[in-house]
Structure formats: structure tokens, C-alpha cells
């Protein structure tokens, strides 16, 4: 789904158009998750580079981004913000990084989209150094029995098609807790936005 040229261009345009709106909604959360970032950061699915503003100038960002429609925007933003971009056109399920090589891996609204979230998290665990951390913010399935959960399941297939695999019905918190990290901190949040199917979200910090 990810490399469809029409949807790829649409989603690249949409992310750029919503950049200011999303920054207003997520700035505090992402600033906290990326606080104390090391000189080298791995980001899975950076898209058009919305999160580069939260990194110090001079940071080397290893960007794992399979949607090539995003690459030109990502390169331009990295240059503007003084980020040393190492762009990899790969998927999170198969990262060409050595085991135990990363201090920090970050993702933002990505584990909802990947084909195999279990494999992506396993790859994150593999490339992290002992004591390294995986920080993320993700939307998740609404509570059982809620009206919103019914809505999510009703629109799940067309939403997933339009937004390149984005699945509204994943329980990412439980996935992270069972992934073999030594410490996992998962905090639920209610995200108030026009994108109401994504209302239920989590932030997580996982230590290897």
C-alpha cells in the first residue's frame, strides 16, 4: 500500500498542509519524548519531516522512510533545520542497521501503518543498544463497547486504503509490553481533534 504513487502524493501533500495544525497538537508531547536526544537518532516513518523541529541542529537522523513521495520534502526540511539526514528507503520491518547500534529510536503515528507491527518492534529491539530507548506516540483502538470502537471498525478498510495502511484498530500498548523490553511506560491520552477516529492514543517509552 505504501508506494502507491497517487496515494503517496496525496499523503505527502496532506502532511505538508497539516504541518502547523499537527505541530500545535503534538508539540508538547514530542518535545518531552525527544528530550535529551543523543547525537544520532533513528526515526521510523519520518514522512515529510514534521519531527525534525524537535531535534537539535547538527543531529544525525537515520530516517527509515519507504514512501519515496516524501523524500524531497524530507531532504528540504532537513537542510533548512540543520539536520544531518541519512535517508533509507526501507520499511521498518527490515532495517539495514547493525544490532545494538542505536541509543534512541522514535516513531510518531507509524505503528498503526506498518504491515507487521510485531516485526517492526522486534527490529527496534534488535537495533537498540542495552539501555537504549524507543519512544513513540501512536493512536490505538477505542475501549471495548464504546461507540467510537464501532465507528473505527466500520470505517477501518476505507481508512486503511486511503491512508496507506493506517489501521485504526491496533492495540499497540499491549504489543509494546510483550516485546521483551526491560522497562515499558505506556500512558493513554485523549487527543481532541477533527480526526476523531484517532481520539484514543498512547505515548510510550520502552527501555531495552
Question: Residue 23: which H helix or E strand, with range?
Answer: helix 19-33
Quote the mean pLDDT of the chain. Answer: 92
pLDDT digit string (tens) for 102-149? 999 999 999 999 999 999 999 999 999 999 999 999 999 999 999 999
| pTM, 2 dp | 0.91
Fold of 5-207: Rossmann fold (3.40.50)
Residue 150: the pLDDT is: 96
Which residue is associated with the grid cell 533513528? Answer: 42
Q: Give residue 1's pLDDT.
A: 46
Q: Per-residue pLDDT for 58 more than 70?
A: yes
**DSSP string spanning 72-133?**
HHHHHHHHHHT-EEEEE---TTS----TT-EEEEEEES-TTTSS-HHHHHHHHHHHEEEEEE
Domain residue extents for the chain: 5-207
**What is the edge-to-edge ordering of all strands in the sheet holding 40-44?**
84-88, 60-64, 40-44, 102-108, 128-139, 200-207, 183-190
Q: What pLDDT is attached to residue 205? A: 98
pLDDT tens sequence across 60-101: 999 999 888 889 989 999 999 999 999 998 889 999 999 999
- Kindly tell me if the per-residue pLDDT of 6 is higher than 90: no
Per-residue pLDDT, 3: 60
> What pLDDT is attached to residue 112?
93
Amino acid at each position: 500500500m505504501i508506494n502507491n504513487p497517487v496515494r503517496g502524493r496525496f499523503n505527502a501533500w496532506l502532511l505538508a498542509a497539516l504541518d502547523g495544525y499537527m505541530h500545535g497538537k503534538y508539540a508538547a508531547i514530542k518535545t518531552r519524548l525527544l528530550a535529551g536526544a543523543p547525537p544520532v537518532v533513528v526515526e521510523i516513518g519520518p514522512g515529510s519531516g514534521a519531527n525534525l523541529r524537535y531535534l537539535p541542529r547538527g543531529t544525525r537522523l537515520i530516517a527509515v522512510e519507504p514512501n519515496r513521495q516524501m523524500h524531497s520534502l524530507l531532504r528540504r526540511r532537513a537542510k533548512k533545520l540543520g539536520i544531518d539526514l541519512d535517508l533509507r528507503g526501507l520499511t521498518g520491518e527490515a532495517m539495514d542497521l547493525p544490532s545494538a547500534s542505536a541509543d534512541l529510536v522514535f516513531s510518531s503515528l507509524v505503528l498503526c501503518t506498518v504491515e507487521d507491527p510485531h516485526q517492526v518492534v522486534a527490529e527496534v529491539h534488535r537495533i537498540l543498544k542495552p539501555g537504549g530507548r524507543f519512544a513513540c506516540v501512536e493512536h490505538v483502538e477505542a475501549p471495548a463497547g464504546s461507540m467510537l470502537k464501532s465507528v473505527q471498525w466500520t470505517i477501518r478498510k476505507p481508512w486503511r486504503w486511503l491512508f496507506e495502511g493506517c489501521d485504526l484498530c491496533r492495540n499497540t500498548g499491549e504489543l509494546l509490553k510483550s516485546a521483551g523490553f526491560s522497562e515499558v511506560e505506556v500512558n493513554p491520552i485523549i487527543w481532541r481533534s477533527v480526526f476523531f477516529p484517532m481520539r484514543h492514543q498512547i505515548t510510550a517509552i520502552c527501555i531495552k
